[in-house]
Structure 1
């Protein structure tokens, strides 16, 4: 398995089971059908299930928030046709078309067996209350997989325990991905129906957030207390939404976990050649022809194109995205939005380790060549010497993984926190240090490990966290409660944690999540100063 294949497959395959489902009307009363929860939605009624340890969590899966995009490829989402008879909302809706992802053994606990379809604009809701007048915090999760793979239906994202634990409303969702969601066609056609093609995936998320706002009362939530949170590509989407005028007012807090990559998106200068190459590869003579080709042929062409189906980002098109999210500074659109941001300590031991196992046993002689993919024009020998001075106990593999982690994750998280801290809203920084025992312990604290703890889903995550133990539950207790506190108040402090100050460039206060959590000022500061000085800004892969 190559690093690239593992990279694009990071989001666990989501779940399908085509249930025709719906949305929820804010002024519609919640009732029961045969003991099952029912919501009368804006488009029609849906019937869900009750789950959780107490059996008190109302769950609605496969809830339609927009019409099928089939026949409307590259166009903004439309309203679904209304219905009158209750539709079952107990199975996840189809995930959006994407390139195949390889099986990643540590993600086995999270996998669901679901198919893909262009009819994929569904969301899922977990809540303890339906139309009961309570104003619960709403936590809207944006899935990982970059902008190219994944869905909101992974077992790791099951919201039952989080909703039960914190009396919050949890929402996950699907949105268009890859060339279907982020092909900039403005340079290839002046047809106005394709004008927003470069940001359709993000606009789908905005539409889902509008659904949440309009149906907050029906699902027992507070439309004025919505937190968007996500990991990896999901965190990048959080950053993008923080720069979108159309998302203003739809969320009040933001959490970016291991994915501060969208400091900047593509420009039309980058997006236009990618779209043109896709059209050429597909043998299409026009955008209309590309939009009409069978989806199987479209995906095949996308995988053969220069993008390989894996090189897509939002586009600063002057419409839905008018400037970069965090470059050269934090976008003023979200100046009043508190941000919780951080990473895992050894992120790249997943992609750079499981994807290329030889990296676990590097020699010092092999290290310079391996690091070139991450150091750009920097002096590799200076990077290595500086890392050895900062971490005398590191071997060559340790240096490789930490430099790669800094380049792809930690460095951009620091930049995001630094730039955001110049605005009025508070910023809180964290790092997860707890080490998983799986794979003989060689992964340490890898990418995506935090998901199990944030959702309090260690029992659903044993392939990644190891057996459910008091230790794994301790980590879930610490992180889930901090995330719930932040969603409720904009401050992640809890009685179980040391005092957690806001982040600034003077103290660089960082909460280290481990069995014994600690608040540390500028952790690994010597490494940070070295790599911020030498490495290029942004990702290395």
Structure 2
């Protein structure tokens, strides 16, 4: 098969797989959309009228700069195909393709070179700091573009050890190692600043939004001086970063990885040239600081790229002028703990021991259970497991960030997703990650769980709310009441449900119960 035949076959396959019969003929005539970036020209394809460019290089291969700051790519001649997602960062979870050459992004746009100055919605994927990519079908931007006349960008960047292994105390060449993944995102945002006008986007109106680890990365970017001015609105979905990893704890973690690789400190430089698969093999090394799990990777207070904790002791001043949304789901930990059938049949006798490792705060479980049984006398031990761990482990960081924004006089818009899909009999409620499909209006994509007669209504209201936020800095939708910002006197929160409603201090008794225990960001 010749290169030209291979390219034509690839284009036809992609278009046919997407059901774009009319566009297939369009592509075959050589009229596929071509965009000019500062590094070279790229060829995309059409999907339901939206111009799509996948696997657009924004940084050079990081194998040559492992554990160092990313560098811009070399310019290229001719026209490069941008028809497939680029590789994901090396990781333990299954991805279709992984490589250290992973600095790629994807652009979805209604128009090219039309000076439309559309709002740009830049999405950062979840997976903590360890796994994932910007290539999930749930992150496809076509429907958002069509609904809101916006430009959508999704991105890959370095993860786990490749993005956050702090080796700076082992050698000066590794000064950026603890925040390399964050520096990748900053490089991607610079690419948007420099190129997005070609795609009909407004470089002065960029909204970063992300779920789970993506939201945590956004909270961190809000405190990084190098990120200042690169985005103008921020929305976090079940992802918070109150504190970063301390440099000494991060060094202990680096030593644990080096020990697993059998590299003594005097040979630390060898980690830059070994096969990346060897590093992936030791990512599950037991964390030397936490009492559970593998080594925790997170941004590091390195006094170089991150000079303060993201939301401690207060909200970062450099981002006080940036409108912010902060959201969580009502049943976060059903996503983490719901995979074990035993967690749905707990007895009261079993509940305390189950809570100890899963609350992630140091508080007497029996006292917490007693308080919750007074608040919710009809709930089962299993119901309380999910409810307690959501409040203690997954929700508190969001509350702290909202409180600090309110104290700083720049309150955020806060939401809680209550709507529970009827899938699996509704046993998972509104779990972690269930808002992604709704915000992207992608409930028909592979991996979506939102079903039933209310699913599209939920997708309508959430996607419209995020689009309105990207356009104006204030979220809203036809199906929503007026969304008031979060203030400490009332703690106004939008409850996404059918119907949606504003509620003051939802789950306030739970919030007050855990407020007496110091919050420590897991991993820091």
The change in CA–CA distance for 1:442 and 1:304 in structure 2 (over 3 A counts) is: same
**What does residue 10 of structure 1 align with?**
none
State whether residues 96 and 177 of structure 1, in contact with CA within 8 Å, keep that contact through their aligned partners in structure 2. Answer: yes
Question: Taking CA–CA contacts closer than 8 Å with sequence separation of 6 or more, which of the two structures ends up with the larger relative contact order?
Answer: 1
**What does residue 161 of structure 2 align with?**
179
Residue 90 (1) aligns with residue 83 (2): yes
Residue 134 (1) aligns with residue 116 (2): yes
Q: CA deviation at 1:531?
A: 2.4
Measured in 1, the distance between the counterparts of 2:62 and 2:153 equals 21
Q: CA deviation at 1:461?
A: 4.8
List aligned pairs for 1:126-525, cutoff 5 A: 126-191=108-173, 194-260=174-240, 262-285=241-264, 286-304=267-285, 306=287, 310-354=295-339, 356-373=340-357, 374=359, 376-461=361-446, 463-466=448-451, 469-525=452-508
Structure 1: runs of 5 or more not aligned: 1-16, 18-30, 102-112
Measured in 2, the distance between the counterparts of 1:375 and 1:230 equals 23
Measured in 1, the distance between the counterparts of 2:295 and 2:53 equals 31
State the SS of the aligned residue for 1:476: helix
The change in CA–CA distance for 1:74 and 1:462 in structure 2 (over 3 A counts) is: closer
State whether residues 127 and 219 of structure 1, in contact with CA within 8 Å, keep that contact through their aligned partners in structure 2. Answer: yes
State the SS of the aligned residue for 1:165: helix
List aligned pairs for 1:102-117, cutoff 5 A: 114-117=96-99
State the SS of the aligned residue for 2:338: helix
Measured in 2, the distance between the counterparts of 1:56 and 1:39 equals 16
State whether residues 184 and 268 of structure 1, in contact with CA within 8 Å, keep that contact through their aligned partners in structure 2. Answer: yes
Report the count of equivalent residues: 492
Kindly provide the CA deviation profile for residues 67-89 of structure 1, in whole angstroms up to 9, marking residues without a partner as x.
Answer: 00113211111121211111110
State the SS of the aligned residue for 1:35: coil
Residue 44 (1) aligns with residue 27 (2): no
The change in CA–CA distance for 1:129 and 1:465 in structure 2 (over 3 A counts) is: same
Measured in 1, the distance between the counterparts of 2:496 and 2:124 equals 22
Q: CA deviation at 1:536?
A: 4.0
TM-score, length basis structure 2: 0.90
Structure 2: runs of 5 or more not aligned: 1-12, 14-26
State whether residues 53 and 108 of structure 2, in contact with CA within 8 Å, keep that contact through their aligned partners in structure 1. Answer: yes
Q: Which moved more, 1:272-281 or 1:143-152?
A: 272-281
Q: CA deviation at 1:263?
A: 0.5
State whether residues 43 and 80 of structure 1, in contact with CA within 8 Å, keep that contact through their aligned partners in structure 2. Answer: yes
Measured in 1, the distance between the counterparts of 2:518 and 2:331 equals 18
**What does residue 31 of structure 2 align with?**
35
State whether residues 258 and 343 of structure 1, in contact with CA within 8 Å, keep that contact through their aligned partners in structure 2. Answer: yes
State whether residues 257 and 283 of structure 2, in contact with CA within 8 Å, keep that contact through their aligned partners in structure 1. Answer: yes
Q: Which moved more, 1:381-390 or 1:277-286?
A: 277-286
Q: CA RMSD in A?
A: 2.0
State whether residues 297 and 523 of structure 2, in contact with CA within 8 Å, keep that contact through their aligned partners in structure 1. Answer: no
